[in-house]
Structure 1
Amino acid sequence: MIGRLNHVAIAVPDIDKAAAVYRDTLGADISDKVPQPDHGVNTVFINLPNTKIELLEPLGEGSPINKFLERNADGGIHHICYEVDDIIAARDKLVENGARILGSGEPKIGAHGKPVLFLHPKDFNGALVELEQA
C-alpha cells in the first residue's frame, strides 16, 4: 500500500524567513509561496533530488497548525507524506485495520492538486501521516 516518501512538512511561523534559510544557506531550489485556503496554510516546497520539504505557515486564525506553533514557537516537523496508488482503497484498508482518518474521512485536494488524507498520529507512533494519491 505505502509508496514513496512524497515530502516532509515543517510548520514555521514565518515562511519567507524559513524559505530564505533553505535558499540562501543551503542553496536549495524553492517554489513560490502558494496559499492553500482549503487547508488553512501557505506552502513553499523545497525541491530535493529524491523528495521535497514542505514549509507550512498559518493562513488565518483558524489554521490547523496554529496550535502546533503555540507549542513549538520556532516551528518543527509537522507531518510526513507518503504516496499511495489508490487513496480510497488505502483508506478502506486502514479503517478495516483500525486506523483513524482525520476529518470527514473523505479525501481533500492537496497542495499538489491530488487527493490527500491525514491519519491520526496516535495510530502511527506519534507521527501525523498524510497520504497522497500518486
Structure 2
Amino acid sequence: MIGRLNHVAIAVKDLAAATAVYRDALGAEVTPPLPQPEHGVTVVFITLPNTKIELLEPMGASSPIAKFLEKAPDGGIHHVCYEVDDIIAARDKLKSQGARVLGDGTPKIGAHGKPVLFLHPKDFCGTLVELEQA
C-alpha cells in the first residue's frame, strides 16, 4: 500500500527566513510560496534528488501549524507524506484496522493538486502521516 516518500514537512515561524536558509546556506532549489488557505498554511517545497522538504508557515492563529508552533516555538518536523496508489482504498483499509483518519475522512486537495488525508500520530509511532494520491 505505502509508496514512495513524497516529502517531509517542517513547521516554521518565518517562511522567508527558512527559505533563505535552505536556498542560500544549503544551495537548494526552492519553489515560490504557495498559499493553501484550505489547510491554513503557506508552503514552499525544496526539491531534492530523491524527495522534497515542505516548509509550512501558519496563515493566522487558527492554523494547525500555529498550534504546533505554540508547543514547539523553534519549529520542527510536522509530518511525513507517503504516496499511495488509491487513497480511498488506503483510507478504508487503514480504518478497518483501527487507524484514525483526521477530519471527516474526506480527502482534500493538497499543495500538489492531488487528494490528501492525514492519519492520527498516536496510530503511527507518534508521527503525523499524510497520504497523497500518487
* TM-score using structure 1 length: 0.99
Letter of the 2:118 counterpart: F
1:80 maps to 80
Deviations 1:21-46 (A, max 9, x none): 00000000000001000000000000
| Distance in 2 (alpha carbons) for counterparts of 1:97 and 1:72 | 31
Say whether residues 1:48 and 2:53 are aligned partners.
Answer: no
Deviation at 1:71, TM superposition (A): 1.0
Q: Which residue of 1 aligns with 2:22?
A: 22
1:5 maps onto 2:22 in alignment: no
Cα shift at 1:62: 1.2
The aligned amino acid for 2:16 is: D
In structure 1, the partner of 2:111 is: 111
| Structure 1 unaligned spans of 5+ | none
What is the number of residues matched between the two proteins?
A: 134
Runs of 4+ in 1 over 4 A off after TM superposition: none
**What residue identity is the alignment partner of 2:96?**
E
- % identity of equivalent residues: 76
- 2:14 and 2:21 map into 1 onto residues whose CA distance is 11
1:41-86 deviations in Å (ceiling 9; x for gaps): 0000000000000000001221011111011111000000000000
**For the Cα contact (< 8 Å) 2:99–2:123, is it kept in 1?**
yes
Mark the runs of 5 or more structure 2 residues left unpaired by the alignment.
none
Deviations 1:76-103 (A, max 9, x none): 0000000000000000000011000000
Partner amino acid, structure 2, of 1:72: A
Matching of residues 59-74 of structure 1 within 5 Å: 59-74=59-74
